[in-house]
A and B are shown apart, each in its own frame.
Chain A
Amino acid sequence: MSKRNFNVVNKPLRKIDAMSLALGKPSYVGDFKPADALIIKMLTSPHAHARITSIDISGAETMPGVHAVLYYGNVPRIAHTTAGQGYPEPSPYDTFMFDSKMRFVGDRVAAVAAETTKIAEAALKAIKVEYEVLQPVLRIQDAMKDGAPVIHDEPEARAVIPVPYEPKKNMAAKVDMEIGDLEKGLAEADETIDFQYYNHYAQHCPIEPHVSMAWVDREDRIIITTSTQVPFHCRRIVAQTLDIPVRQIRVIKPRIGGGFGAKQEIVLEDVVAMMALRTKRPVYWEYTRAEEFISSRTRHPMLMRLRLGAKKDGTITAMGLDCTSNTGWNGSQGLTVVCNSGSKMLPLYRCDNIHFLGMAVYTNLPAGGAYRGYGATQSAFAFESAMDELADKIGMDPLQFRAMNHIKSGDTSPVFRALGEGREGVDQAITSCELARCIKAGAKEIGWKKRKPHTSKKGRYRRGIGMACLMQGSAIPEIDMGAATLKMNEDGSFNLLMGATDLGTGSDTVLAQITAEQLGTTLDKIIVYSSDTDMTPFDVGAYASSTTYLSGQAVQNVALKVSKQILKVGADMLDCKASELKIKDSKVVRKQGDGEVTFSEIALYSMYSANQFQIGDISSKIVHHSPPPFAAHFVEVEVDTYTGHVRVVKYVAAADCGTPIHPRLAEGQVEGAVMNGICYALTEEYLFNDKGRMLNANFGDYKLYTLSDLPEMKTILVPSYEKTGPYGAKSVAEIGINGPLPAIANAIHNACGVRLRTGPFTAEKVWRALQAGGEIPFEEGH
């Protein structure tokens, strides 16, 4: 429950950038492209696994209009990770700006910077390359076989934190954890299940693809303007890759046209920085949609085995989850994604015997990366499908089964400590959990009571209802840090300078709301600037559902410090003690009696009149908890049993995100995530040929839902009050994407008895399962 009446927080105010975006004012990287920018284009590998035996760039280099050609022979060879994560990164150093070994169709061969796109493309054609083609590895199971071709055989490949890393076995990451005794738990169970599940490839599909530009200023510093979620990590990793000091680089992040995790990677910036240095001209590189699909990042496909045991009374006695992800050609975020598959789902249900094995393996396919849901999407599919299957076996209603087992306020889980992000986690008790109310509200809205078993359904079109329970986190405890600077201006307005990055989520508005609430002023008085590594303080960036919870605390802290300074100056002006004053409506007023000064008068006084100083401060925040948001999702589907086509009739998402700082934006996050999840469940898939080339890298063939596909959708925010969060807030951005895959799988089963354990649930797959009496043999997909 909300604990306070707020003035600015918890209100659906107009987004601070709404008008400028609606009017199409220059906002995005592409809007700032200098007229004289050179265009970068990349020649990529046609082979999934190969070695360059010879390369001749002379034809391109001498072409009129071409200013530079980069390839492995003329750039530094520095092993690094492209993952925009905290330092030292939990992802292995297995990537080079350019290499002579090709590890996927789409790998970098050589980059050209030229006066026009046409010249750049012609120059790519003039580069002569010969390859020794190697056997590609295109499936997880093949990568793990003895004697499988080694994808990272270079000596430099290494892990930089103490974690298992065996590139000779194509193993990019491994984590193993046991609490209690899984085998004992399984033996104690009245019923057990043991199934395999597979999550398929998907891309984030931001409307704005990856895009970066760079130029060198008169001090020889490289100014990179880029669409990134992680400007500070970007600066650090580009400096490392180019072997230049951090101080020589400035990274500016303008507005971002969507990221969803894809832009938590250094995908273009190393090359634009290097090209700017080489050419001394502004350079610009924007991915095509095909490049975005192939050479950017994806959701890690994951092969999972889940063993569960329960007693007839519904007590869960054992949970064993094995997850092996396909991290593709590099190990970016491989360890942490798979850790999250365990840490974000295993604590959801109480159990004494838990085993988790997580691995990430290299293949010669596109690389996985951070993607909304971050490993939890994968394991939620397995877990929440299995919960239905186990409930069925013990003869219990799946809703009741979940309701009696899920974690509640005051509970803790040993998993929190055992599994962190690439290292041990942090003990925590749940201080806010309204999952029970989410389940209740969602069940009512979908009409759970009218749900009937599939065996009672007849006819061509059959409807079914399914559900899933979910949890995520809010920032990475003891690792993530955010900071903010706040300073006051003469008119009583404030500059809020943050490293936190709004990637289209509205976090600039949310953080300005928290600041205004704490200062006792209005939203229009907060001027937000984010992010610029020269101007704004450090923030890890937008990932791990951290911005509202973590950066929100940083802005709240700095606003608190500044409001104390304001009271002090007010006391000076009103000739009383600060303790006799309070802030109200952008004024400092006496608690008792007459006397008030406006924020503007205070600013003018402190700047020009007496005891002059700049009212302002900086504050950093590192969090010690990662309070999970919770959600219960419900869906009704209709299956055409003749064709196998699945139609979502209605989707209900009930979410506990603590206090929604901006309720409408929070709802938008849930709805966007759910839509994202629905098309992941039903239509999105990567099609590859047997040589590892993606066949559908465009929006015509790779199908996303648009608004015209929107089913009836109901979002129910069930507020709790998270006392460690700013004004009771937790996160909301990621959790919503985890529900559709399992909820729809369960609804399909409830409709027609078909149980699908590999996504996406295409009509053909459902039809084949119907033909086969409900199941098709399990197969690792793509």
Chain B
Amino acid sequence: MNYIDFKSPTQLDEARTLLKELGESAMPVAGSTLHVFLRDESPKVAVDIARLGLSGIRLVDGIFHIGATTTVTALHEHDQPGWVLDRVASEFVTQPIRNMATIGGSSVRVFPWSDLPVALLALNAAMVITGDEERTLDAETFFASQPFHHFALGDLLTSVRVPALTAGQGFAYLKDRRTSTDFSRCTVAAWLSLEDGKIAGVRVAVGAAVPMPCRMPDVEQALMGARPGPKKFEEAVQAGLDTARWKGLHGISDEYARHLASILIVDVLNRAHQEAKGE
């Protein structure tokens, strides 16, 4: 990156005005960890959005409102009934990066290794964008393609809303990597809710082994209304696996990526089921 200036606004409006004025030459910067991967050499003005008061986690009517500049460390350390993102944050690479990276920065630009988008898809998060008007996109719409496409000049992601887990619901998250600091080769998350011992709601999301994080609609479909259990999960996964285009990363074949996903999805479903049962 080639930064030629650094602006540090303290108000959301001020930041948005700056971004609009500076146009293409400006770039909002939250945790700034993306820069490790950017090869863009065009001169840019960094507009720091970390001091706009957009960080913090609040529970409002059963929904966690997470400020966009909340760091992954803060997600990790937060402890409240129904809060599950700590499980994802603990798998998010190394502590120094967790200290810097934010939920917003991790959502607006998606990499194959991105942890949070997979979890946010499974949790049916709502993504709040503040532009000239505020608008909210559901996670599936938001992550359908690179999310920055949803942003006009001066728009910022200001909040991410995640329903708290309640009784009868379970959530699990897993990723496959070679070492503790490795990029993921397959990331999976599942949310599941039970009613009368049957699956009343289920969301399964995958990342890394697919071009963009996505839900697995056929797997979900096969599970709705069914009695959960390892066998059922395996059947559903086998039936629904081919809706995704599997891609091997870091030396693994596409075939193995698909296989890995099939195992991990069953694993997360089993774990989510355990939690939903209260075990």
Contacts and interface: CB of A to CB of B under 8 A. Distances in A.
Given A643-B264, A762-B252, 14 more contacts: A645-B176, A682-B178, A683-B178, A696-B251, A701-B183, A703-B179, A703-B182, A704-B179, A706-B181, A709-B179, A763-B252, A763-B256, A764-B253, A768-B256
Interface in B94-121: 94
Interface in A632-649: 642-643, 645
B259 interface: yes
Contacts of B183: 700-701
Interface string B244-279: 000000111100100110011000000000000000
A642 B263 contact: yes
B4 to A, nearest CB: 14
Given A643-B263, A685-B251, A687-B251, A767 B256 contact: yes
Contacts of A700: 183
B10 interface: no
Interface in A659-712: 679, 682-683, 685, 687, 696, 700-701, 703-706, 708-709
Contacts of B179: 679, 683, 703-706, 709
B250 A764 contact: no
The 3 closest A-B pairs by CB, nearest first: A764-B256, A708-B180, A683-B178
28 contacts: A643-B176, A643-B259, A643-B263, A645-B176, A683-B179, A685-B251, A687-B251, A696-B250, A696-B251, A701-B250, A703-B179, A703-B182, A703-B250, A705-B179, A706-B179, A706-B180, A706-B181, A708-B94, A708-B181, A709-B179, A762-B252, A763-B176, A763-B256, A764-B252, A764-B253, A764-B256, A767-B256, A768-B256
Contacts of A706: 179-181
A182 B251 CA distance: 40
A703 B253 CA distance: 17
A477 B9 CA distance: 69
Contacts of B181: 706, 708
Interface in B168-182: 176, 178-182
B180 A709 contact: yes
B178 A767 contact: no
B180 A703 contact: no
Contacts of A709: 179-180
A159 B253 CA distance: 43
A37 to B, nearest CB: 23
A645 B181 CA distance: 16
B269 to A, nearest CB: 14
A369 to B, nearest CB: 24
Interface residues on B, range: 10 to 19
Interface in A606-646: 642-643, 645
A366 to B, nearest CB: 17
A645 B186 CA distance: 13
Interface of A: 642-643, 645, 679, 682-683, 685, 687, 696, 700-701, 703-706, 708-709, 762-764, 767-768
B176 to A, nearest CB: 7
Contacts of A705: 179
Contacts of A685: 251
Indicate the member of A706, A708, A763, A764 with the most B CB atoms within 10 Å: A764
Nearest to A708: B180
Nearest to B248: A764
Contacts of B259: 643, 767
A763 B94 CA distance: 23
Given A642-B263, A643-B260, A767-B259, A762 B251 contact: yes
A764 B180 CA distance: 18
Contacts of A679: 179
A763 B259 CA distance: 11
A705 B181 CA distance: 8
Indicate the member of B179, B253, B264 with the most A CB atoms within 10 Å: B179
B85 to A, nearest CB: 21
A695 to B, nearest CB: 9
A779 to B, nearest CB: 14
A754 to B, nearest CB: 15
A677 to B, nearest CB: 15
Nearest to A644: B256
Nearest to A706: B181
A293 to B, nearest CB: 15
A704 B177 CA distance: 12
Nearest to A699: B181
A121 B250 CA distance: 29
A767 B258 CA distance: 13
Nearest to B267: A642
A416 to B, nearest CB: 40
A686 to B, nearest CB: 10
Nearest to A683: B178
A198 to B, nearest CB: 16
A703 B182 CA distance: 7
Nearest to A643: B263
A701 B251 CA distance: 9
A687 B250 CA distance: 9
A685 B251 CA distance: 9
Contacts of A701: 183, 250
Nearest to B263: A642
Contacts of A696: 250-251
Interface in B214-269: 250-253, 256, 259-260, 263-264
Nearest to A645: B176
A703 B251 CA distance: 11
A700 B180 CA distance: 12
A214 B109 CA distance: 44
A687 B260 CA distance: 21
A694 to B, nearest CB: 12
A705 B250 CA distance: 16
Nearest to A710: B180
A683 B259 CA distance: 19
Contacts of B252: 762-764
Nearest to B255: A764
A699 to B, nearest CB: 9
Contacts of B250: 696, 701, 703
A327 to B, nearest CB: 24
A710 to B, nearest CB: 10
Contacts of B178: 682-683, 703, 762
Interface string B159-195: 0000000000000000010111111000000000000
B82 to A, nearest CB: 29
